[in-house]
Structure 1
Amino acid sequence: MEGREFEFKGMVVNGFLMIFIILLLTVLFVLSFFMKEELGVSAYVIGIVGIVFTFFLWPGIIQLEPNEARAMVFFGTYKGTFRRTGLFWINPFMTAKKLSLRARNLNVDPIKVNDKVGNPILIGLVLVWKLKDTYKALFEIDSQTMASKPNEVGTSLAGRMKAFEDFVRVQSDAALRQVAGLYAYDNNEGGEEELTLRNGGDEVNEQLVQKLNERLAMAGMEVIEARINYLAYAPEIAAVMLRRQQASAIISAREKIVEGAVSMVKMALDRLDSDDIVELDEEKKAAMVSNLLVVLCADEPAQPVINSGTLNH
């Protein structure tokens, strides 16, 4: 089982029972001081040694809440992970490193990366992670050097979990750069088939979760969910890309306007011809088409001009 997490198999006593026993022993050893006549000087020896002995028993009391665990280490040897919820007593010479198995949020600040086509972009993510393997988390990575206060890592749950969070943050940065490099920010060529960071949605997020879990597996951590929560062009190209997007939007709008205008002109010519309202030769049809397209495609309302002559002049 070396190198893997397993359940603690050592001696475990109910915590409430052990507290009662320790208190009872303490009372008996204190009473021994008053038995000098029966025991002589040995009464003091028994009392002092017994009280010191009870002091060594108290550190064996541990308490675990739901989704908490204790990695049991006996003079440097891993003896298993204790997960039972409640109050218990174990060997007081056993070091019980407390760990939280609860899900934790991590909001990764936006970083600057290059997308698939080389455009600099800003991208950030939010993820939910938790410990999966306590052995790997404690002994496969050097959490001591990652903590903001290294001296507190060995005894502080908060310091230990902060060190794990720093590890997740660094690996998240690397995974985010890797995934961002696989896709373009947007499909500026107008095609709809290519997957991009903007339209990828769940597929891009699933790819991000996969890359994160590959990197965090060595540390016994698991990413439950990861989502891109910030996406923008880098400031140095944001203005240029905005103008490009505006130009694309204008072109798309013009295409719709021209398509509608041509349809309306065709309908007008067909109605004039079918209802025998007026008979136009090719030259006048061309002039009419030109005028209608100008009116229909113009950005501003056209100024009407009344022709007081006849169509024959």
Structure 2
Amino acid sequence: MSTTSSTNPDTRPPAAPEPEGAAEAGQRSVRLIRNEATTEIPVHLLFRDDLDPAPVAARPAVAGRRPGTGERPRTRRPTAARARPVPGVDPELAERPARVLPGAAGVAAGACGAAGCAVTSWWAGAVPPLASEALGLPAYTGSGLGPAQWAAYAAAGALALFGFGGLARGRTGRAWVLGLFGRYRGTVRRTGLMWVNPLLLRRRVDVRLRHWRSEPMPAADGNGVDLRAVTLVVWRVRDTARATLGVEDHETYLRECVEAALARVPVEPLGTVRSAADVAGETLTRLVAADTAPVGLEVFSVRPVRVEYAPEVAAEMHRRRIAALDAAQRASVLMSVVDSVEDTVTRLTMRGLVELDDHERKVLVKDLTVAFCAGRGETGA
């Protein structure tokens, strides 16, 4: 039959001749293909003629990346650096916007409450006839103040108080920290007329860029001499929740941080070494910014604007400075006199105006030195 002949394996078309060495390859172990990104894959899985291959246990295709493949390494997403925890400050405390409504909602609610009170008064007959005619209301004697009228009064009055009592005006550079029963409920940084829940406690915070000129604080120079430094701090409140609720008073905390930084950084009196003063200012800024960042303060600069010696050492250091300046001035004058004498003697000798032996040269040098020193003393040089 035709069906049997079609299925007979002897009637299949001749297969393509196998390449040389295929028999030997079949006797060897199965070849494997190795790749940096995959595991070992048998060759017979890639080149097979079976229509119904035997099931093969699945293995993970990707095992990992090896260095040196030329591929771009995977980079992790940068995570925000967490602020250093401070004792007594809730690490989860962070500023978030509070829920407020436009001021029109509060005005509308207050107006509705006031209108309800007026209608309730007319209903109770408490509105005089002349007032009813002026308001365009029909004359109504009313049924008196009963439980229903008092309930309507209470509801309308509460609505009016709740509507008008929640109106607030936001200003640029100011924020409100809201709290309810000791719990932080959000921060309001909006401007203009708005409605805030009147049950919430409001704390006003100044978020503008501010500068603070400190009082004279104790400091020391590189040699340990006591100084008094006045610093100018430029700062602002970055996180209102931590600045208000994290510490008792963030301005006092900032002052204490500046004083602690001055105790660690040596400063120099202004006017002596300017570069040292700049380095001290940069160091102070870095230290104070690191100390105040966990409580929501952002410090831009801490610069010493006046550095003086402490009263107990001011007189002695003043005498030392004067003595040092006097010695430097004397050395400068002496060097100038010596240069002038040398130049004069050299010119006289080189031009042949005088012929001097060693003794005469010493006498001439001595006389010229006395003359030049006396002349500079008279002129005040």
Q: TM-score range by the shorter chain?
A: 0.7 to 0.9
**How much has 1:167 moved relative to structure 2?**
2.5
- Alignment partner of 1:2 out of 92, 96, 103: 92
CA distance in 2, matches of 1:90, 1:197: 55
2:51 is aligned to none
Structure 1 residues 93, 112: CA separation in 2 closer, same or farther (over 3 Å shift)?
A: closer
Asked if 1:266 corresponds to 2:342, the answer is: yes
The 1:248/1:199 distance shift into structure 2, 3 A limit, reads farther
Q: 2:108 aligns with which of 15, 20, 38?
A: 20
Question: Structure 1's 235 and 273: CA in aligned 2 closer, same or farther, altered over 3 A?
Answer: same
Tell me what 1:157 maps to: none
CA contact (8 A) 1:186 1:197 kept: yes
Aligned residue in 2 for 1:156: none
Residue 123 of structure 1 deviates from its aligned partner by 1.5
- Kept in 2: contact 1:33–1:44 (CA 8 A): no
Aligned to 1:31: 119
Q: 2:262 aligns with which of 173, 176, 198?
A: 176
Of 285, 301, 320, the residue aligned with 1:209 is 285
Tell me which stretches of 4 or more aligned residues in structure 1 moved more than 6 Å: none
Structure 2 counterpart of 1:113, one-letter code:
A
Q: Which amino acid aligns with 1:177?
A: A
Distance in 1 separating the partners of 2:210 and 2:296: 14
CA distance in 1 between partners of 2:224 and 2:200 (Å): 55
Q: Distance in 1 between matches of 2:145 and 2:315?
A: 94
Q: Name the SS for the 1:225 alignment partner.
A: strand
Counterpart in the other structure of 2:230:
124
> 281-290 or 247-256: which moved more?
247-256
How many angstroms apart in 1 are the aligned matches of 2:218 and 2:175?
38
User: Is 1:225 the equivalent of 2:290?
Assistant: no
Question: 1:282 Cα deviation (Å)?
Answer: 0.8
Match runs of 1:1-313 below 5 Å: 2-8=92-98, 10=99, 12-36=100-124, 37=142, 41=146, 42-141=148-247, 143=248, 163-179=249-265, 182-183=266-267, 185=269, 199-298=275-374, 300-301=377-378
Letter in 2 for 1:44: W
Q: Secondary structure at the match of 2:94?
A: coil
Whether the 8 Å contact between 1:22 and 1:57 is mirrored in structure 2 is yes
Contact 1:103 1:129 in 2 (8 A): yes
TM-score by length of 1: 0.76
Q: Which amino acid aligns with 2:317?
A: M
In 1: Cα distance, 2:308 partner to 2:225 partner: 11
Aligned residue identity for 2:200: M
| CA deviation vs aligned residue, 1:241-281 (integer Å, no higher than 9, x gap) | 22221222122222222222222222222221222212111
Kindly provide the CA deviation profile for residues 38-93 of structure 1, in whole angstroms up to 9, marking residues without a partner as x.
89832332123321342233332222101111222233332322211111113333
Give the superposition deviation at 1:17.
Answer: 3.9
Range 236-245 or range 275-284, more displaced = 236-245
Separation in 2, partners of 1:286, 1:131: 75
Distance in 2 (alpha carbons) for counterparts of 1:80 and 1:232: 45
- Kindly report the root-mean-square deviation, in angstroms, between the aligned alpha carbons of the 2 structures: 2.7
- Structure 1 residues 74, 206: CA separation in 2 closer, same or farther (over 3 Å shift)? same
Distance verdict in 2 for CA 1:54–1:186, change over 3 Å: closer
1:21 maps to a residue whose letter is A
CA distance in 2, matches of 1:235, 1:40: 80
Can you list the C-alpha shifts for 1:76-131, whole angstroms capped at 9, x where unaligned? 33232221111111333333322111233322111333333121122121222221
Identity across the alignment (%)? 26
RCO higher in structure (CA 8 A, sep ≥6): 1
Bigger mean CA deviation after superposition, 281-290 or 121-130: 121-130
Q: Distance in 1 between matches of 2:270 and 2:198?
A: 60
Structure 2 residue identity aligned to 1:240? E
SS in 2 for 1:35: helix
- Structure with more of its chain in helix, by fraction: 1
1:110 corresponds to which letter in structure 2? Answer: P
CA contact (8 A) 1:14 1:89 kept: yes
Partner-residue secondary structure (3-state), 2:303:
strand
State the aligned residue count: 270
SS of the aligned residue for 1:109 comes to coil
Q: Structure 1: which 5+ residue stretches go unaligned?
A: 144-162, 188-195, 303-313
| Partners of 1:173 and 1:56 in 2: CA distance | 47
The letter for the 2-side match of 1:221 is L
> Which deviations, in whole Å up to 9, do the C-alpha atoms of 1:197-228 show, x marking residues without a partner?
75523322222221221222232112233221
Question: In structure 2, how many angstroms separate the alpha carbons of the residues matched to 1:228 and 1:258?
Answer: 37
Contact 2:175/2:189, CA 8 A, preserved across alignment: yes
